[in-house]
Structure 1
Amino acid sequence: MEGERKETNCDSDFSGTVTVECDGVKWTVKKDNCVLRAIFDLQTEAQNLNVETLPDFVDRLQETTVNEDTIITDSPATIFTIVDILNSVAGVSKRLKLNETVMSNILGTVDVIVSENAQESWTQLNNDTETDNTSSSLLQSVEDVGSNLSDEQFNITRERIQLNRIIDEPSVNLTLGVNQTVDVQIPETGGIPLTIIAFSTLHFVLPARNASNFNSSSKSTTSINGDVVVVRANSDISFDNISFTFEKKNETLGNPVCVFWNFSLLDGIGGWDSTGCEVKLDPNDENRVTCECNHTTSFSVLMSPFSIDSIILSYITYIGVGISMGSLVVCLIIEGIVWRAMTRNDTSYMRHVSIVNIAVSLLIANICFIIGASLVDRGKITPVNPCSTATFFGHFFYLALFFWMLLSALLLFYRTVMVFSQMSRSTMMAIGFSVGYGAPLLIAVITVAVTAPGKGYIAEKDACWLNWTKTKALLAFVIPALTIVAVNLVILCVVLYKMLRRGVGASTQPDEKHSLMVIARCVAILTPLFGLTWGFGIGTMVSSAFGVHVVFTILNSFQGFFILVFGTLLDGKIREALTGRFKFTTSSSNRTRSTSAGQSSSSGWGVLQRLRRRRTVVFTGPMALTGPTSAQFD
């Protein structure tokens, strides 16, 4: 019957099943999951692979793949299984140093499955949504293995692969590839052992997909027109100052683009990424293309253990941090101008003390971030002394930012829930500075004391910031920050609940009766002041997805700007104080207030004016204060 499907067992030499479908005339194969039995048995054995059994195992794996190369290259399921085995090998290799013999056997296996005869099998794997990350997984396994070789110099040449193991060389300038088709130049290596691998046939193994053509037909017109080169170091440090010169495989193709394989692209299936890479053409040799790549630090490194190579994130970071720093300076200037007029009672005094210290902490922390980013070139070894200093002060002041935001939220909670309770100014100041700066200093000092002796305080590469891979020192920032974000979120919910219980929605204006509108306005104003946007840091910690890092970077690198707008400019009392300070006429001031009160609900100023006139709620800048009937503490 046409359209009928059946699942049958594979031939005796294979393990698995094959799905066939009737097209009305004959049965055609729709899904072939048949794996060569010898490879299937090795996959089962690989589940219990360990350091002692690894050398013998990879020897037998290579022998099997070489002897059965014709069958293997025609079987996508078998190639998929071999890649899975290589993943297991790469995992075990992290616990030992592989010698030349073991590495030669691994490359012998890879050489078979990337042969020209396997091109059709790779096309099927890359076009199947269940196996489209197989090629990326293969490259990742080879890179991981190449990072764990013994400290001895050797070369390995296979039919389609060439490996150079380099030890104690201050710089690298060599030509490699099975046909001498790639030049690699590394001006500075720092004497770190390097593994450089050139593949002559990965251009059809790795699909020509990227973020822009993944769901379009344009990928069919794009091709990888050169060898693929992997450069790895034993210390897991990559280099961004490498120059690659490739010989074109097809001289008729134009418009070259330099790319690197981004394993995290396209939700983890991997793809080509040109971010930070630049083409250098030689007018005297049109058959060769030189590529230089440069990646810089993004703001999301503050929370994320993942290394995200993106010039877009870098631009967002530096633009956002620059605007934030300027905004914070303006915020502090305004606070200085209106300080006397705005601090006439204890609650208002502490509110503005919190704002000033939030601004100062974030300003200094951002300065430390910029200094740290300027000290490290991506991929190079982190300079210990200057980076340790920048990291310590950055860690301290970013934590101070969060603790002052916590104090700001607690003050709001105190004045909202305990309306009749009173605390003296001196007591609040003592608590404020003890918590705001004392707790961050204690955490920062303990972090240094615990991690620095084992050289695990700062990251080994990419940025002057807390280490993750070796000591998890980054948690000394992440845990306090996210804990405070969680507490502030609870406080915000409690305050909103109190506001709703006291009749915030009882407005005479029809467009503001719905309580959700009041909640939305309060959340919009309090979110940057309570640091709630840093909650997106959870996403950057558990995912390397580019979109998550973009959202985090935008929201938090611009935090200083949000503080200026929501903490200062939208505070009606500050505007009134500024008006009086610059001697505007009373009629002009009244006219301004009248205009603000009459603005639509979409206006931030109008919202605050209307909220201020409500019967039971007062909302001024970062503090929402309530009383039995109506009271203002500003």
Structure 2
Amino acid sequence: MATGIRISLPKATIQNNQLIKAVVITYKTLKEMIPSSSANSSNINPAGSTIQINSQIISISFYPDRYGNLSHPVRIIFENTNTIENKNTAKENVCAFWASAPSQCGWDSTGCRTGSESNSTHTVCYCSHTTTFSVITRDKLVQSLQIEVITYICCGIAIAVLALTIAIFVMHWKDVKSIVNVMNINIFLCLLMINILVISGLTAIYWKPLCVAISIFLHYIFLAAYSWLLRCAICMHYLFAKNKLAPGSIMGNFLTCCILPATIPILVGIIQVSRYGFDGYLSHYACWLSTTPPVVVTFIIPMILLALAALIYNVLTTTRASSNARVVYDYNDEELEINRKNFRQSFVVLVTFIMTSILFVAFTSTKDIVCQYIFAIISLIQSIYILLFYALKNKEIQMDCKSKAKNHTAYELKPTKGKSSSHLTPANYNNYEDVGEDAIYQEVD
């Protein structure tokens, strides 16, 4: 047999002890004469990119002729001309045969499959018919992440609920304006953007520059949300521990929670894309960080550190959020209950966000449908919780609504019975008899 090629015929090929002769022809220079772009069927190259012949070309035939598909496939082991070292590269080898058609000739893969035992130097082919075979190198087929219907529904509702919550805060901002609520609105905005990108931009893998931009922005939004949650946890701790807000200015909060979280995603994106290309930065399934190479650790490590710091501050705050705080720091019952409520709410949002972050990494890395379902459901529950407890049950917002309703009622005029004199027109006045002022007024002594 030709160097680098081995052929195995299954015993079932011979039926009724009939003598079968196999004729094998190898072509040394034929691949140089066939254009690399020759593809007769979309199943060999659905992406439409250039293909390349990566082995010798051989022809196999039987005598007597065996028409139709073989009951058991022929196994052919090819030696690859060019090796593919990394299994995660953008290229892959596939088994193909030369298909002749009246209108077009080219490579096709119908009836042939590539064996799982193939490696970087050899490709194993199983074909159920006999003709001319070779190994074709093509761009690896990308099976993008599928966003399920339940994810669209849950995340869509979450987007509407979070947008409504933000709108309520904006409408009543004069009454709810505070440092804590500034942090809350920024957290809500981050959650809103995450849900929007999950259902609209996560699967845009065929537009690589856009996909990189989406991945960088998602990376940033997640870290920004954790930064705001940590800042909120520190603020709650200071309220209970020292009876004052945490030190820091508006500019300081902006730098630590908006600017600083952007440095890691931008630097990682620029370095990875410039050194290893798009495939060295992006996941194979979605517009998210790659797991091979493990670019995703640049998100996981900061996420763990920020989440752990926020949880530690929440644990420390729990020891302070007791009845002793009212005695030590002269809180009245109403102030103490408001601070406790704010602490409980921020803790619930932190825990649910940690859960959704873990599930997000899981389903974008493995395409696990169960993780995607749980992510969508928890995101929906989280948004409803935020609307209910941060907005609808907010006492300041409720008091503002009652005050506006009361003022509106006070300015309304009560209706009078019968016709009002204002309904008289100038023409009506002409119908009245002029009796003079003396008939109307009587002088009193």
**Which digits, 9 at most, give the CA deviation of each residue in 1:36-92, with x for residues without a partner?**
xxxxxxxxxxxxxxxxxxxxxxxxxxxxxxxxxxxxxxxxxxxxxxxxxxxxxxxxx
Task: Give 2:427's aligned residue.
Answer: none
- Asked if 1:478 is matched to 2:300, the reply is yes
Matching residue within 402, 413, 418 for 1:579: 402
Q: Displacement of 1:175 after TM fit?
A: 3.6
Deviations 1:72-129 (A, max 9, x none): xxxxxxxxxxxxxxxxxxxxxxxxxxx9747x68xx8xx89xxxxxxxxxxxxxxxxx
Aligned to 2:201: 372
Match of 1:554 in 2: 377
**Pairing 1:152–2:55 present:** yes
Structure number with bigger Rg: 2
Q: What TM-score do you get using the length of structure 1 for normalisation?
A: 0.40
Alpha-carbon shift at residue 420 of structure 1 (Å): 5.0
Give, in whole Å, the separation in 2 of the partners of 1:195 and 1:329.
Answer: 55
Q: CA deviation at 1:433?
A: 0.7
Asked if structure 1 preserves the Cα contact closer than 8 Å seen for 2:283 and 2:291, the reply is no
Deviation, structure 1 residue 482: 2.9
| Unmatched tracts of structure 2, length 5 or more | 12-51, 61-68, 76-93, 100-104, 114-122, 130-135, 327-339, 410-445
| 1:330 aligned residue (164, 167, 184) | 164
Within 1, Cα distance between the matches of 2:202 and 2:106? 24
Could you give the per-residue CA deviations for residues 203-231 of structure 1, whole angstroms, max 9, x where no partner exists? xxxxxxxxxxxxxxxxxxxxxxxxxxxxx
Instruction: Show structure 1 runs of 5+ residues with no match.
Output: 1-98, 113-148, 179-193, 201-231, 240-294, 299-313, 344-348, 377-381, 505-518, 587-634
Of residues 282, 289, 304 in structure 2, which corresponds to 1:466? 289
1:502 counterpart (324, 337, 355) = 324
Which structure 2 residues correspond to residues 108-187 of structure 1 after superposition, within 5 A?
151-152=54-55, 160-161=72-73, 165-166=95-96, 175-176=110-111
SS of the residue 1:468 aligns to: coil
**Letter of the 1:416 counterpart:** F
**Would you say the 8 A contact 2:269–2:281 is kept in 1?**
no
C-alpha distance in 1 between matches for 2:98 and 2:221: 40
Distance, in Å, in 2 between the alignment partners of 1:521 and 1:428 is: 21
Structure 1 residues 490 and 422: CA distance shift in structure 2, 3 A? closer
Taking the aligned partners of 2:246 and 2:111, their CA distance within structure 1 comes to 77
Residue identity opposite 1:397 in structure 2:
I
The answer (yes or no) to whether the contact 1:373–1:464 under 8 Å persists in 2 is yes
1:242-263: CA deviation from partner (whole Å, max 9, x where unpaired):
xxxxxxxxxxxxxxxxxxxxxx
Q: State the shift of 1:558 in Å.
A: 5.3
- Equivalent-residue separation in structure 2 for 1:459 and 1:330 (angstroms): 33
Letter in 1 for 2:394: D
SS at match of 1:461: coil
1:383 to 196, 207, 210: 207
Task: Specify the SS of the correspondent of 1:373.
Answer: coil
Mapping for residues 617-632 of structure 1, pairs under 5 Å: none
Q: Which digits, 9 at most, give the CA deviation of each residue in 1:4-57, with x for residues without a partner?
A: xxxxxxxxxxxxxxxxxxxxxxxxxxxxxxxxxxxxxxxxxxxxxxxxxxxxxx
CA offset at residue 337 of structure 1? Answer: 1.1
- The 1-side partners of 2:222 and 2:393 are apart by 25
Alpha-carbon distance in structure 2 between the residues aligned to 1:336 and 1:326? 15
Q: Which amino acid aligns with 2:233?
A: A
Deviation at 1:196, TM superposition (A): 7.9
2:392 to 551, 569, 585: 569
Deviation at 1:463, TM superposition (A): 1.5
**Percent identity of equivalent pairs:** 17
Offset of residue 442 of structure 1: 0.8
Mapping 1:56-95, distance limit 5 Å = none
Which residue among 211, 222, 232 is the counterpart of 1:398?
Answer: 222
SS for the counterpart of 2:172 is helix
Query: CA contact under 8 A between 1:100 and 1:154: conserved in structure 2?
Result: no
Structure with the greater relative contact order (CA < 8 A, sep ≥ 6): 1 or 2? 2
Q: How much has 1:197 moved relative to structure 2? A: 5.7
Alpha carbons of 1:566 and 1:520: their partners in 2 closer, same or farther (altered >3 Å)? closer
The Cα shift of 1:434 comes to 0.8
SS at match of 2:217: helix
Residues 1:297 and 2:227 are matched in the alignment: no
Report the equivalent of 1:355: 184
Corresponding residue for 1:342? 176
Q: Could you say which residue in structure 1 is the equivalent of 2:362?
A: 540
What's the CA shift for 1:392?
2.1
Mapped to 2, the partners of 1:373 and 1:538 lie a distance apart of 11
Equivalent-residue separation in structure 2 for 1:500 and 1:198 (angstroms): 74
Corresponding residue SS for 1:532: helix
- 8 Å contact 1:485–1:535 — kept in the other structure? no
Distance of 1:335 and 1:172 partners within structure 2: 62
| In structure 2, distance between residues paired with 1:503 and 1:383 | 56
Using the alignment, how far apart are the partners of 1:422 and 1:526 within structure 2?
Answer: 17
SS in structure 2 opposite 1:165? strand
Choose which of 263, 266, 275 in structure 2 pairs with 1:442: 263
CA contact (8 A) 2:234 2:246 kept: no
Distance 1:457 1:576 in 2: 55
Output the aligned Cα RMSD. Answer: 4.6
Q: Does the 8 Å CA contact 1:533/1:556 hold for their aligned counterparts?
A: no
Alpha-carbon offset, residue 566 of structure 1: 3.4
Hey, what's the Cα distance between the residues in 1 that align with 2:368 and 2:214? 28
Check 1:497–1:388 CA distance in 2 against 1; reply closer, same or farther (3 A cut).
Answer: same
Shift of 1:477: 2.1
Cα contact 1:388–1:457 (8 A) shared by 2:
no
Q: How far 1:551 moved relative to its partner?
A: 2.6
Distance in 1 of aligned mates of 2:241 and 2:234 = 10
Which residue type is aligned with residue 418 of structure 1? Answer: K
Q: TM-score, structure 2 length as denominator?
A: 0.55
User: CA shift at 1:466, angstroms?
Assistant: 1.7
Q: 2:232 aligns with which of 401, 408, 416?
A: 408
Query: For residues 340 and 520 of structure 1, what CA distance do their matches in structure 2 show?
Result: 21
- 1:319 alignment counterpart: 153
Is contact 1:460-1:467 (8 Å) kept?
yes
